[in-house]
Structure 1
């Protein structure tokens, strides 16, 4: 969905772009000195200037979040009067769950980079989308590490090991193979040692 040139974001929030959207909106709110109302609990309602200042910042931050949402997201926060509650509700509903990245097609550039042996491209993608490290190919359920291991791109395997957790290494493909098992089956001692 198109947004106006003076909008806080390049794309309205939908089910496929939460990670990028949240960075854009947070950066905008930080630049406008509004992020603190999203991080803190609501001020107690009082008639003093402190509460009035908070209420004004909250309304501005909430309005920014609301106008940065697509229809589905907007419907979830329609009756919310707190920027913090709106932000938390959107995160709960749209933030990718650990071990799963929202949309495989968003991660295609990572797999293309690994396929071609281009670590610089893969690294750039992972810097912007760190959760993509656990994305799996729909057909084989292989991760980028599985692919790099299959193709024996040792330099990429070594780099991926720097950004993966132990749990990431336990991810199996359709055949129940971890990347470590694939490396061992290929007899690639360098990759096996790197993974251990």
Structure 2
């Protein structure tokens, strides 16, 4: 990865946005990252997309000042950060400017710092003085205090916050379309996932902004142990081939791509027809399995796959 000097001539400020933007764009184009940043390249090829997204995200991070990025932590999409920074530092309408100024100057900035630092005493005082604070945006990405507790990996803060929250608060999504639960699932934060499930058990079937349930979103980010955990918690009917949202087929294909064969084989034993169902991106599990036939030497632990695949021919 190139150093900062190879990306932009100077770090982003409110005054140099246009020059900064053009430098970054040139860097992205030269390194085949522009389609990801511009939102053209989808997550269909999830492994390659995640790699490119991480590279682009790192380039954005190291070319911004710390104070610029402080309220953008936790977002996983370079495209979204790119657009938010355009709104935050680029040319804005009077309405946009007023909204950002109000957001940055209100008392929620103190709440942001207290949660991030794990200061429950100050967080509790704030919540008791402002009863609706649990539902206010405290980042430019529309994240609430529950999102921030997860992003900051403050498990105890999250546990305490749930005493001030309703079940509906756990369903609130940020501008990425993610609940606090989905963010925890993506990052493999099992303790936090368990805490939230005790409050609201059906979070495992709540879809994000792209229509993906948490186990499928976690599988996109190769959060392997979280996928295994959520598989035990997700009701089987949600993954059924009869479910029109194709969660089961999409999950199966991610499992095959990630070589999580223990979970994939269990899912296929339950719903064999899933291998022939198109997922959200028009892929079929049977095709992915066919490409992996070289990995099936006779007599080893993958013999189930070999027998199953050949029986379909």
Category of TM-score, reference length = shorter chain = 0.3 to 0.5
TM-score, normalised by the number of residues in structure 2: 0.29
TM-score, normalised by the number of residues in structure 1: 0.46
More RCO (CA 8 Å, sep 6+):
1
